[in-house]
């Protein structure tokens, strides 16, 4: 019975590919090595899925004309789990690499002093909270934010555990709490009035980036109809991308352990 099921699934996958639908496998990653995820994990997943195209969370400026990492211009590119694993797999198997992140991402962050302002905004909001100066509602919302902010304390056993549907559900809830609740706190507290413009940009940029990444994945899938695409993306982005891509009739979404 198990053998029959495996054969049926294989035939179904081949039929989808024959009909011109691209298979898209999104793998949520950790950029830096940790006990349950490193560059070998990325390589092992690629070896299992055997994709035709690997999409990397970078924009096109990090690639040369042949869509290879521009290591001459960016010699430190091989410093993350995804880049190391994908580069090794490309060197050994000749798989195509493609960028899919929002164009000019790093320049935009620098231009808007994004991370420095983000840290300052958080410090001001947390200082009000510690001083007991938030309204009751905002205090409760901040307590909720603090409960979900640092999910790195979650004890994942493996890359599959990290990418499970339970984790995706948690991260979807965390995303809502983090971005919507903090924006509400900043906009309602007079002492945080100077952050109101930035908090909207901060929240909006997260959702905009997911939408652009999803659009770029669709665009690449249309260029590789009938092929298998594997997307390597920071874990927090995966729930949003799954939601945005779920209703695309030209895509077949799969998890890496289904191969």
Half-sphere exposure of 146 (CA within 13 A, CB side): 12
Long-range contacts of 247-251 (CB under 8 A, 24+ apart): 248/218, 249/21, 250/20, 250/21, 250/22, 250/218, 250/221, 250/222, 250/225, 251/21, 251/22, 251/23, 251/24, 251/218, 251/221
The pLDDT confidence band at residue 165, using thresholds 50, 70 and 90, is: very high
The burial of 27, by beta-carbon neighbours within 10 Å (0-12 exposed, 13-18 middle, 19 or more buried), is given as: buried
pTM for this prediction: 0.88
**240 C-beta neighbours (distance < 10 Å), count:** 21
* Average pLDDT value over all residues in the chain: 92
Percent helix / strand / coil, the chain, rounded to 5: 60, 10, 25
**What's the pLDDT score for residue 8?**
47
Average pLDDT over residues 127-135: 97
* Spatial distance between the Cα atoms of 189 and 144, rounded to a whole number of angstroms: 17
Q: Which residues contact 33 (CB under 8 A, 6 or more apart)?
A: 39, 81
For residue range 199-254, what is the model confidence (pLDDT) as tens digits?
A: 999 999 999 999 999 999 999 999 999 999 999 999 999 999 999 999 888 899 99
Higher pLDDT, 76 or 152: 76
Q: How far is CA 134 from CA 28, 117, 197, 202, 231, in A?
A: 35, 21, 19, 21, 41
The pLDDT confidence band at residue 16, using thresholds 50, 70 and 90, is: very low
Indicate the angle between helix axes 136-148 and 114-130, nearest 10 degrees.
120
Residue 75 has pLDDT above 90, yes or no: yes
**What's the pLDDT score for residue 138?**
98
Average pLDDT over residues 19-45: 94
- Asked if residue 51 lies in contact with residue 95, where contact means CB atoms within 8 angstroms, the answer is yes
Residue 18 has pLDDT above 80, yes or no: no
Structure tokens at 237: 């982005």
132: left (phi over 0), alpha (psi -120 to 50) or beta: left
Residue 23 has pLDDT above 90, yes or no: yes
Question: Nearest to residue 125, comparing CAs of 202, 174, 187?
Answer: 187
- Asked if residue 49 lies in contact with residue 43, where contact means CB atoms within 8 angstroms, the answer is no
CA angle 62, 63, 66 (to 5 degrees): 175
């Amino acid at each position: 019975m198990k053998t029959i099921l495996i054969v049926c699934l294989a035939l179904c996958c081949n039929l989808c590919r024959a009909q011109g639908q691209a298979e898209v496998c999104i793998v949520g990653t950790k950029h830096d090595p940790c006990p349950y995820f490193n560059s070998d994990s990325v390589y092992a997943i690629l070896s299992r899925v055997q994709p035709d195209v690997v999409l990397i969370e970078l924009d096109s400026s990090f690639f040369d004309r042949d869509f290879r990492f521009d290591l001459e211009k960016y010699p430190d590119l091989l410093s993350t789990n995804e880049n190391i694993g994908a580069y090794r797999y490309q060197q050994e198997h000749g798989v195509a690499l493609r960028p899919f992140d929002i164009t000019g991402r790093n320049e935009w962050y620098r231009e808007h002093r994004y991370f420095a302002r983000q840290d300052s905004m958080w410090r001001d909001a947390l200082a009000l909270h510690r001083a007991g100066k938030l309204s009751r509602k905002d205090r409760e919302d901040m307590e909720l934010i603090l409960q979900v902010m640092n999910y790195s304390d979650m004890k994942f056993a493996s890359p599959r555990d990290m990418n499970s549907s339970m984790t995706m559900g948690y991260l979807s809830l965390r995303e809502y709490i983090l971005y919507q609740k903090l924006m509400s706190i900043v906009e309602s507290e007079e002492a945080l009035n100077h952050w109101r413009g930035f908090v909207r940009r901060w929240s909006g940029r997260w959702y905009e980036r997911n939408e652009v990444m999803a659009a770029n994945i669709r665009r690449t899938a249309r260029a590789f109809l009938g092929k298998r695409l594997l997307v390597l993306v920071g874990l927090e982005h995966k729930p949003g991308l799954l939601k945005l891509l779920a209703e695309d009739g030209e895509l077949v979404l799969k998890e890496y352990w289904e191969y």
